[in-house]
Amino acid sequence: ASGGAARNGRPKSGIRQVFSKFSPSPLSMKQFIDFGSANACEKTSFVFLRQELPVRLANIMKEIDFLPDKLLGTPSLKLLTSWYSQSLLELIEFLEKDPDDKDVLFTQALINIRNRHNNVVPTMAQGVVEYKDAFGVDPVTNQNVQYFLDRFYMSRISTRMLMNQHTLIFNGSVNPAHPKHIGSIDPTCDVVEVVKDAYETSKMLCEQYYLTSPDMEIKEVNSKNTGQPIHIVYVPSHLYHMLFELFKNAMRATVETHETSPTLPQVKVRVSLGTEDLTIKMSDRGGGVPLRKIERLFSYMYSTAPSPVHVDNSRNAPLAGFGYGLPISRLYAKYFQGDLQLYSMEGFGTSAVIYLKALSSESVERLPVYNKSALRRYQSTTEADDWSIPSKEPKKLSKYESTQ
């Protein structure tokens, strides 16, 4: 049924409609490993991806349509939607191709699509900035844009994961630096090594900027194999991305809070492997954040970072300047059913906790699905709050007070 739509000469505008009716098929870490193991079959991967990638693109393209018209009208969004339309058209051409035909250049097509989408995050972020500058922010738009961008960026993480796996596994070469990796997955990812790697890079940046940096204290607790290093099946680049973001925040807060002190308090990291969860907790003494502001740290619309000057430079540090580090890091954690949470004590410091699944069988993709529930979210408006809202001034209680 999936290929028939294109074969029957259905108009191109209907392609998205057809594929958005399918739900995406989430893969588990185990399935990703099987796709790329010694007996990996390029044909199987090709047949799966030529259907699955259009489904994932079409699902999120349907949601793009529900963004405010004025946001869709920005130059950035027009450019971005053209990329998605072009990629969808290129992918569905493979529905009629013979999987056994050696001349089918599917891997090259995936590389071209991936490159086309390299700047999706800064381009979307630039569109939000253009919209904000022109029209400001209101709670309803903020709520809808937050809901959409979490789903949009998660969709992008997932499509890049699928394309990376196929291109890395079937490009005919082994990564000499990581011969045991299956695509971008490390079947024995040494968590503490990734923590140290992210710390060293952050430390270097911190010292360049502030001329000093806090030390790290790290402890690991392996409750499954006491005394053994902690290994999980994971994508090291995803974990590194999260940790690098958290270290940057922790170091900056620590240095700025203690700028007049002769010494800096350490950033403490605890890594614990349990039956269900692998947990990484990073605690700093960087003065903390009031509870009221925690949610805003994850907001795309309320991001306070100044926008970068050049969006077209793909060599920029990832997401530099848009203040998207925390919300995107949380999506990386959630992508395989984990989470990232912040707990702060204003006046003291902040603890950030990354939760990942300990078992690869439970690490299953978390994907946005376009359906009636999603549609209702976009169509809802904020009604009157059903909890009391504190006014700025406390009520004058003198008229109730006893006159005795």
Segment 114-137, tens digit of pLDDT: 999 999 999 999 999 999 999 998
Between 175 and 299, the more confident residue is 299
Q: What is the mean pLDDT of residues 340-363?
A: 98
Q: In this predicted structure, which of 95-104, 113-122, 271-280, 337-346 has the lowest mean pLDDT? A: 95-104
Task: State the catalytic residues.
Answer: 241, 245, 248-249
Closest listed residue to residue 195, CA positions, set 137, 260, 282: 282
Q: What is the rounded CA–CA span in Å between residue 123 and residue 213?
A: 33
Portions of the chain given CATH number 3.30.565.10: 186-308+318-357
Kindly tell me if the per-residue pLDDT of 382 is higher than 90: no
The whole-model pTM stands at 0.90
Q: What is the rounded CA–CA span in Å between residue 153 and residue 319?
A: 12
Residue 274 backbone phi and psi in degrees, to 5? -110, -165
- 3-state percent breakdown (helix, strand, coil) of the chain, nearest 5: 50, 10, 40
Paired tokens of 314: 């793909």
Q: What is the rounded CA–CA span in Å between residue 169 and residue 109?
A: 15
Task: Report in angstroms the alpha-carbon separations of 10 from 13, 14, 104.
Answer: 8, 7, 23
CATH of domain 186-308+318-357: 3.30.565.10
pLDDT digits (tens, 9 = 90+) for 299-339: 998 876 555 545 444 444 433 456 899 999 999 999 999 99
Portions of the chain given CATH number 1.20.140.20: 13-178
Q: What is the pLDDT of residue 177?
A: 77
Q: What is the mean pLDDT of residues 101-114?
A: 90
Q: What is the rounded CA–CA span in Å between residue 68 and residue 383?
A: 19
Kindly tell me if the per-residue pLDDT of 8 is higher than 50: no
Kindly tell me if the per-residue pLDDT of 219 is higher than 70: yes
The architecture in CATH of the region 13-178 reads: Up-down Bundle (1.20)
Q: What is the rounded CA–CA span in Å between residue 5 and residue 111?
A: 25
> CB 11: neighbour CB atoms within 10 A?
7
Between 99 and 346, the more confident residue is 346
Q: What is the mean pLDDT of residues 366-380?
A: 92
> What secondary structure does DSSP assign to 85-116, as a single string?
HHHHHHHHGGGGS-TT-TT--HHHHHHHHHHH
